[in-house]
Amino acid sequence: MTPERTPLPLPQYRRVVLKVGSAVLSGREGRSRQIAIAEQVARLRGEGREVVLVSSGAVATGVARLGLKARPKTMPGKQAAAAVGQPVLMQLWEQALAWYDLRVAQILLTAEDLAHRHRYLNARHTLETLLEWGIVPVINENDTVMVEEIKFGDNDQLSALIASLVGADLLVILSDIEALYDADPRHNPHARPVPYVERVDAEVLRMAGADPNGVGTGGMRSKLLAAEKAQAAGIPMLLLPGTRPGAVLQALRGEPVGTFFAAGQRRYSGQKLWLYQLPKPAGEIVVDAGAARALREGGASLLPAGIRAVRGSFGVGEPVRCLDPAGNLVGVGLVNYSSAEIERVKGAKSRDLEAILGYKHSDEVIHRDYFALASELAALSP
């Protein structure tokens, strides 16, 4: 973290993921802010940039449309409010962007959609096609079917995953706050904005207030975790005041607005980047000490002989967490066998797989090419 911002290398930001928070779109001025954001999207498109919108606000819009006094506290209540609010929210985006002759497409996702490799690739191919067609994708978490097991947590986390999914050059999060502060400005009048963050570490995370704003589900900590995910994918992030007209354009001109999070060194690409960014793996495999050491230090594949226990139900090709005997995360990988098959062959030699199962897909339960170590998975769990 440094007090000064490094000038933005503007020409390289060709593809931008722009996340708009619920607090920006709610309230008396929410509609005018939405129109101002649409104008900025049109300006970015006019500069030759591609834009993917990640828009919160379905629940808040539903609450307003239904005349409810407060955001529902139960999951069915939130889902019902989202079901009312989502079509209204999309209609508002469609109308706002239509003023600038821009067409939109709605994409609703759950964490489960991105936890399956083929669905992840399908989502990426769809987004790439929409961008090639000159359409602005508007993405939101599918709140109407969301349950705890398949939720991203909030759209800050979703936006970071989308940024790596589409290979964005920049992630921008528009919030109702001006920037990251060195203390919570709601409680500390001496808190100062932080214009530039080299790396999201424990010191930076301590700056976050714990509470969201009451309109959305996030908060500063969530935005910092999104920045951490983006940095790990080699993508810089801007945290900007969505309540200020023109903030995105000002920041991209190099003006001192909000907080700029520098891009980190990309750790993974392709399938391993997907493993790194997984919202929720499908199950767990407990391995013995020798297998844990071979995975961590030897770059080995996971063989059935090193497996002690299987937790959860999962199929071939699904991502699972590997734990050592003490319960510490070793890494995440894609399995060559289902949970039922692994339960039958755990502790066995690879040469005995066919005798036990009557067939053999592979000698390895997880091949090293499809395994990402926990030491490189710092942003996996918020």
Q: Are 15 and 49 in contact (CB under 8 A)?
A: yes
Residue 54: per-residue pLDDT: 95
- Count of CB atoms within 10 A of residue 344's CB? 14
Domain ranges of the chain: 10-269, 281-376
pLDDT at 141 over 80: yes
Which pTM value belongs to this model?
0.76
- Is 1 in a helix, a strand, or coil? coil
**Burial call 261-297: b when 16+ CB within 10 Å, e when fewer:** bbbbeebbeeebbbbbbbbbbbbbbbbeeebbebbbe
- Is 194 in a helix, a strand, or coil? strand
CATH number, domain 10-269: 3.40.1160.10
Tell me which amino acid residue 148 is.
Answer: E
pLDDT (tens digit, 9 = 90+) per residue, 263-321?
Answer: 877 655 566 677 766 656 778 999 999 999 999 988 899 999 999 999 999 888 888 98
Confidence of residue 129 (pLDDT cuts 50, 70, 90): very high
pLDDT (tens digit, 9 = 90+) per residue, 26-69?
Answer: 888 989 999 999 999 999 999 999 999 999 888 889 998 999 98
Residue 381: per-residue pLDDT: 39
The torsion angles phi and psi of 249, rounded to 5 degrees, stand at -65, -40
- Please state, in angstroms and rounded to a whole number, the distance separating the CA atoms of residues 306 and 288: 6
Report the CATH fold assignment for 281-376: 2.30.130
Half-sphere exposure (CA, 13 Å, Cβ side) for 161?
31
* pLDDT, greater one: 288 or 375: 288
pLDDT (tens digit, 9 = 90+) per residue, 186-220?
Answer: 788 888 999 999 988 888 888 876 555 444 445 88
- Please state, in angstroms and rounded to a whole number, the distance separating the CA atoms of residues 41 and 197: 25
- Of 111, 381, 345, 114, nearest in space to 366 by CA: 345
